[in-house]
Structure 1
Amino acid sequence: MWNKEFQCVGNETHLVYCPRISHVNQTCSHANDASVICSRFRLLNGSSECSGRVEIQVLGAWGTLCDSRWDLLDANVLCRQLDCGFAVSAPGGGYFGKGTGSVWTDTFHCKGTEPHLGHCPVTALGASQCSHDNDASVICSGRSESLRLLNGESRCDGRVEISLRGVWSRVLDDQWDMNDASVVCRQLQCGAAEKAYNPPKSERGTGPVGLRRVQCAGNETHLTLCDKSTSEAAQAGIAEDVGVVCSGSRQIRLVNGAGRCAGRVEIYYNGSWGTVCDDSWDLSDSNVVCKQLGCGHAINATVSAHYGQGSGPIWLDDVNCSGNESDLWACPSRVLGQHNCRLKEDAGVLCSGLFCECFCKGFNGVGRCLWRSL
């Protein structure tokens, strides 16, 4: 057990060049083992350290990432990984200039909540003919961002934490309401507030308390502009952790199919996954789902819980898409949550992206078998 304290400036080329201090009386066990996670990603040519062309290091050499499958969810994870807040946009087309070296077409399948791109499922397609005209980029909100949401299904729902003096801290309140939640959603660029709640005991935080009893009018641009009490000024009371669900948290997925591009249609709304009723469900509706998920076009629109019954609420009924909508909730339908259905009427989709081809990558085309969508 090495118990000397390193006092590195950060620009040393080797750890042995850092000053060290010995602590003779200090006892340490392997429960205190130090660790580090190194990033093989960087941003170049941006106006700040939190924007730029995405570059990836493979076998010691830096290259760029093809923008064909790079999206805002992947970009959001990279921003969090680099301590740069959240992703504002994920421009392609060499937005920050052309890089050099290989162009990698690895496809990340991030939910957007992962702490590191290494936690996302990835389809490793290797280097390709994608040119540097198609280099992927990201613009992050920056390190001044002071709020984050934890334990949700996206970056736009979950328990609220605030960074004060560089320390992430809890927000506690006994009268947390939609005015307060509206400010959080606006500050995080997550749309409108859909729900203000107190998380259950199992999801409460354990860190320091940053704010207590926040009282927002609802039009403030930042939570710190609301009337509030600091943790030092108000320690008494029964205030609890607070959470929000913003409209930007809405998601869609396919469940119980052979892959991510087939299955029962489920929507994440108001903090819960629910289903879609099959009344009027057709190929136009299914096409919107397939397009939204990056799964090609619809081959079949299934009804009568073809992929099994769900267990949550039924969120949509009488959906009537033209097929050109960007997402399912942009289609005409009943008000979210209103229906006259039962779970045995759950709608489903089979998309063309389910069908894949296998190719070999390696010496003379012989190597490991990789899959990619047609």
Structure 2
Amino acid sequence: MTVIPSGRTAPPPPGAARPARPFVGELRLGAFASHRRTVVPLGPLTLLAGASGSGKSSALGGYEALARLAAGDPLEDVFPDPAAWVPERAEADAQGRRGFRLGCTVEGPVGPVGLELAVQAEPALRIVGERLTGCGETLLATALRNPRRSHVEAAWHTAGAVPVTRAPFPDDRLGTALLPLRVAGTTDGQLRVLAAAEQVVVGLRSGFVCDPEPRRMRAAVPAGEGQLTSCCGNLADVLYRTRGQCAQRHARLVAGLDSGCAGRVTGLTAERLADGTVRALAGRGPGRSTPVGRLGDGELRYLALALVLLTGPQVRVADPVAEVPSAMQALTVLADGLDRALDRRQTAELLALAASVCAEGHLRLLGTVGESAAAAARGTAGATVVDLTP
């Protein structure tokens, strides 16, 4: 299936300035779960829509898998049930092998860089092929030459006295993420390889899976855990850590919470209790506050998503902004069921907030939504809706 998005943004004209922060501009699912030749262009705010079974969640899962591999996670951790990602009607070859393919294009300072990955799921999980391309060149290629060995043969561009360097790579790791450990960077060709690999790794590693679970957000939590968890169970701790970093951002969060909650919200604070735990409080007027644990499920999900959107990369790190390299001050939020438990008003407010934040450039969002949220998003400036069809 080839996807044509609603409201696709035109590619930049030749000679246009290249983005300073790497980001994934296209996701490709050549043969992955229910997808066949699916191409999903990704803008700053991209929402996947479609009927149940159209592959919205699996497309998001493909992005997450690439992000985890770029972060160095082993293949077996990323795909604990590899057969689940093999297309249902895919037949095994004469050796009983079946697998899946996926890839992406990462835009950034060195221009578009493509990554393609072929994974064997059966009879044994392993990477059987990887290709990194940029500037019209193949910068890295790997292939499984001997099934009895636990490595692939890798070749990368050198452009020196020896045009190509060859070496074995493990078959359970993304080769692109290993290149900085293998490439010396002594020739122009090697430097191009390293720059392309870094762009892909940084762009993919900015992905952050965010699926707030209200049941985990109601109790006070230990202080000092650092980055926000995917379920947002330690939201109070992150709010406590970031509460004084930016007054303007905090004011926007309070205003957003006021719009998305029943009853008036005049403030949002976090306090440390006598036992060392932290809880969050929503101000309800002079001298009045409510523990956020008493909010409804939709209100808590709305609060968590708004906090992530407005806090951006700092939900993942405890370092002051000045100490984090500029290229790493980016976040791509992956939200499956972005509108889950939200009413129509909350959905509209959250989409407007997401569009506003994503337009600022340091944060991107890829989410899945239901039909009513997709309809609302089509009327939201800056949002791209991609309709997936089974």
TM-score (norm 1): 0.29
TM-score (norm 2): 0.29
Q: Name which one, 1 or 2, has greater alpha-carbon Rg.
A: 1
Q: Choose between structure 1 and 2: higher helix proportion.
A: 2
